[in-house]
A and B are shown apart, each in its own frame.
Chain A
């Protein structure tokens, strides 16, 4: 009997030990106001790394299946492209000349790039498992230089637009809170009138964004399609990055401000690549 009780006694010791460690650790965390390890970051790093792997495998399988189909298409395209190549060789010669001319004109006009901050391109590898939250996981993390609260932009059809900001940083992955998230608020200006307000998300990528705190007196100056850009105040976001275009203006009797609905510049259903920008890198001219 005594031999049978030993394992239980041993397990009980371990249990008490674990309970005490957890209990004392909790007291320590409460008394210091925080714990040295951010559990969310550790868990996010681990699970999102696996998520990254699954995404890579999924992409690989999809690529394999589509490759067979693409092969037949490629043969047809090959003949067409051979012809195009000859045309492009001719165009390239002209293009080189145009580029040189462009460089000369830029020098003459003293045109320069306005933003030279560190840019970190990244690929979207996952989205939030909850329907009510809208986190987007990207494949770059602290090892790549991503930091918390970095603004994230994207280029779609030649237009730059605001995607959101980094909220959680793992080692090799990060989470972006998009502008359409309930919790996202962006200080923004109407590009034409320069009036400042706050743009908030409504939770869905298909739903419009809401802009508040624009005074009613500017109603006459506003038009549908006007672009709203980031104000750049508080250094949270880059200045003058387009957020959306005005799609609806509501005048509320009980409010001194207008309620403006915006269509996001970025089509989030097509979002594949993003660029995280290090605003702490003071490279603005």
Chain B
């Protein structure tokens, strides 16, 4: 589990640097795809609640450090997402294209709902998505399409990322 945790952190580090230093500088993109969210989804669906929430928390903290948003916002959202998707560990099929795409779609929707709920309790500083905005729709589509692709990529490293790769459904 510890090996999977630290391996995941390395992947998160790679993804956040890719997101902030490369993807976010491509200004023709209306929004940046949330690779960190997809990674959390992958880890929690394969490794369960414990790893899902801890790696989710750590990835959220990384994002908080590099974001103009308040410290703790992403940590909270990704901890919850890691835990919730961890509940379905080993029960959901993560192979193919459509099911992972559906998970990516659902995770992005849940993220926006969580933001709405959190902004209710912390009205100062927490900005929410406008659910019908171009930015949100782009991110939703991008995450949906990228989830199966990223899952396939991460499966290459399943030996170091998953606690029990031999019994996983992928």
Contacts and interface: CB of A to CB of B under 8 A. Distances in A.
Interface string A49-72: 011001100100000000000000
A178 to B, nearest CB: 9
B74 A130 contact: yes
B68 A177 contact: yes
Given A47-B16, A204-B135, A130 B21 contact: no
A204 B66 CA distance: 18
B6 interface: no
B62 interface: yes
B122 interface: no
Interface residues of B, number: 35
30 contacts: A40-B64, A43-B64, A43-B65, A44-B66, A46-B65, A47-B62, A51-B21, A54-B17, A58-B21, A58-B22, A124-B25, A125-B21, A126-B21, A126-B25, A127-B20, A127-B25, A127-B32, A128-B32, A128-B67, A129-B16, A129-B19, A129-B20, A129-B24, A129-B67, A130-B32, A130-B67, A131-B129, A133-B67, A133-B127, A168-B68
Interface of B: 13, 16-17, 19-22, 24-25, 27-28, 30-32, 34, 36, 61-69, 71, 74, 115, 125, 127-129, 135-136, 139
A127 B20 CA distance: 5
A39 B71 contact: yes
Interface of A: 39-40, 43-44, 46-48, 50-51, 54-55, 58, 124-135, 137, 167-168, 175, 177, 181-183, 203-206, 268-270
A48 B71 contact: no
B74 A132 contact: no
Given A51-B20, A167-B68, 14 more contacts: A39-B71, A40-B71, A43-B64, A54-B21, A55-B21, A124-B25, A128-B66, A129-B66, A130-B63, A130-B68, A131-B34, A131-B129, A133-B68, A134-B68
B36 A129 contact: yes
Contacts of A58: 21-22
Given A51-B17, A58-B21, A130 B69 contact: yes
A127 B21 CA distance: 7
Given A54-B21, A131-B32, A132-B129, A40 B68 contact: no
Q: Is the interface of B mostly helix, strand, loop or mixed?
A: helix
> Could you tell me the dominant secondary structure of chain A's interface residues?
mixed
Contacts of B62: 43, 47
A131 B68 CA distance: 11
Contacts of A206: 30
Contacts of A181: 68
Contacts of A51: 17, 20-21, 66
Contacts of A124: 25
A206 B24 CA distance: 15
A132 B65 contact: no
A180 to B, nearest CB: 12
A131 B19 contact: no
A11 to B, nearest CB: 12
A205 B28 CA distance: 11
A50 B13 contact: yes
Nearest to A268: B27
A269 B64 CA distance: 23
B13 to A, nearest CB: 7
